[in-house]
Amino acid sequence: MNKATNITLKQAAEYLTEHDYFLILSHANPDGDTEGCAYGLCGALQRLGKKARIACSDPLSERFSYMEEAVEKQQFEENCVISVDVADRSLLGDLEEKYGDKIDLAIDHHISHRPFARRIYVDDSAAAACEIIYDLVKLLGANCLDEKNAKCLYTGIATDTGCFKFGNTTKYTHQKAGELMEYGFDAAALNYLLFDMKTKARIGLERYVFENLEFFAEDKGAAIALSKEILDKVDIEDVNGISALPRQIQGVEVGIVLKEKDDGWKVSLRSNCVNVQEICSHFGGGGHIRAAGCTIKTADAEEAKRLIKEEAAKAIEKLLK
């Protein structure tokens, strides 16, 4: 692999302009931001007359199915591979083996980005990678955006900021979201779908979470473990955003949700004041300061909870000193 080179956004735009056959990779367990980047950029490149397609180790979530309308299905041999919102090559999942050392351009906003591509553009001041993609497609020229791919980019910005609530939201986040809305998609209907609509199964799951939360560190921490048995009762869609619930309770500084997987417990942390990225790094995980995750490789729920609560309690204590 060549040495990674940091390039400017203008250089990234030039690079895209000079090429014609693009494969765009999003990260495994895709969220609104990585999918929004992929579909938004793919649609923009296609509108420029280029060939572009998307690959991800996991299927597009049902919730984001509208994104498929933004792109045309195209078959071709790519000569340019781009990753979007991928902080580490391992996050490519099943695609890592094939593409891990073949990425020509990585566009990302994670402060924890570990270089793996030949060209890199990382801006960790962007609340969402979709903010960067929006700036990038503007550089590609007019007519890159329409109602459909603008909606994809808005999705990434809205989901990564909790609909403009989180601390990563800046003046520019708002400005870009407002500009994207001008392309005419129904933002209210989209926001309802992304943030407000709940299935009855979801309402039941939320109830289970609130009824079974374990408080610790003088009620400043709250944790819940969701076993496969519980998770199997609901759609995968219904589990989305569950990680944010414990932190919602007045007084809770660190909210922890553990989900049972084949290889152990997948842990999601959310906080108000505590650096949860640091907590997760103890278990080989990462993410953002106020939202991070890791996997604890034990089958034992109590053991997994004990380990993560211990680290979280230490961090809470440090904060309160």
Which of 15, 21, 66, 166 touches a copy of itself by CB under 8 A? Answer: 166
268 is a site residue for a copy of itself (CB under 8 A)? no
Residue 6, burial from CB neighbour count under 10 angstroms (0-12, 13-18, 19+): exposed
CB 5 within 8 A of CB 122: no
CB 174 within 8 A of CB 187: no
Residues across the chain: 321
210 is a site residue for a copy of itself (CB under 8 A)? yes
CA 50 to chain centre: 26
Which segment (56-64, 107-115, 116-124, 177-185) binds a copy of itself by CB under 8 A? 177-185
212 is a site residue for a copy of itself (CB under 8 A)? no
Which segment (21-29, 48-56, 247-255, 309-317) binds a copy of itself by CB under 8 A? 247-255
Q: Is the dihedral of CA 248, 250, 253, 259 positive or negative?
A: negative
Which residue, 141 or 178, is less far from a copy of itself as judged by CB? 178
250 is a site residue for a copy of itself (CB under 8 A)? yes
196 is a site residue for a copy of itself (CB under 8 A)? yes
Query: How far is the C-alpha of 256 from the C-alpha of 205, rounded, in Å?
Result: 15
Please give the span between the terminal C-alpha atoms of the chain, in angstroms, as a whole number.
Answer: 47
Which of 17, 61, 170, 275 touches a copy of itself by CB under 8 A? Answer: 170
Which residue, 51 or 176, is less far from a copy of itself as judged by CB? 176
Q: How far is the CB of 147 from a copy of itself (least distance, A)?
A: 15
CB 177 within 8 A of CB 32: no
CB 122 within 8 A of CB 84: no
Q: How far is the CB of 146 from a copy of itself (least distance, A)?
A: 17
CA 29 to chain centre: 9
200 is a site residue for a copy of itself (CB under 8 A)? yes
Residues that bind a copy of itself (CB under 8 A): 163-167, 169-175, 177-179, 181-182, 186-189, 191-192, 195-200, 203, 207, 210, 244, 247-250, 272, 290
